[in-house]
């Protein structure tokens, strides 16, 4: 009779096995969901293959940095805020090596034209924030480098630096 009570009752060993199976299934589903979310968030990209990896070796920077000052500041108007603003920017060009310095000085009118074109496209909203000023400097570098490459075959100018900036 005692054996019949154990078999008929719900406190037998079969209930513990069912709980263990449910816990294992839930853990597997949770891990699978986490892995699926990881691949979804990573964009489904696979690991790069050996032939996909391109190692860019930086150019040697063993030449001394030389700063070429432009003779006069740039003064220009920008529109925004329902009124025009006057901006004055002092600019220096960073070049590497004596040859690039000579080429930059020989082509100053081209550099000034490229910078005026870039500054003329700027807005008050860009020039108000440090991030916007960095964006304008980056555009200025790209414009000057492209113009110099057309004329000399080399980018010549490494950076465009604002050494003075006033906006009224």
Who's near 142: CB < 8 A, 6+ residues apart?
none
pLDDT value of residue 56: 46
pLDDT value of residue 116: 92
pLDDT value of residue 43: 60
Q: Dihedrals φ, ψ of 81, to 5°?
A: 55, 30
Beta pairing, strands 74-80 & 157-167: unpaired
Ranges of the chain with pLDDT below 50: 1-9, 44-45, 47-48, 50, 54-58
Q: How high is the mean pLDDT of the chain? A: 80
pLDDT value of residue 16: 81
Residue in this structure with the two tokens 């980056």, named with its chain if needed: 138
- CA geometry: angle 160, 162, 167, nearest 5 deg: 140
Q: How far apart are CA 149 and CA 139, in angstroms?
A: 15
């Amino acid at each position: 009779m005692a054996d019949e009570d154990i078999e008929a009752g719900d406190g037998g060993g079969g209930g513990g096995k069912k709980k263990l199976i449910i816990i294992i299934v839930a853990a597997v589903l949770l891990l699978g969901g986490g892995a699926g979310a990881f691949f979804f968030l990573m964009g489904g990209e696979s690991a790069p293959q050996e032939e996909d990896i391109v190692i860019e070796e930086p150019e040697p920077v063993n030449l001394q940095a030389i700063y070429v000052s432009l003779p006069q500041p740039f003064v220009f108007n920008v529109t925004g805020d329902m009124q025009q603003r006057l901006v004055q920017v002092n600019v220096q060009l960073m070049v590497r090596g004596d040859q690039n310095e000579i080429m930059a000085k020989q082509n100053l009118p081209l550099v000034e034209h490229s910078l005026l074109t870039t500054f003329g496209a700027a807005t008050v909203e860009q020039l108000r924030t440090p991030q916007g000023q960095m964006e304008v400097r980056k555009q200025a570098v790209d414009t000057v480098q492209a113009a110099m490459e057309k004329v000399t075959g080399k980018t010549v100018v490494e950076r465009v630096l604002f050494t003075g900036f006033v906006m009224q």
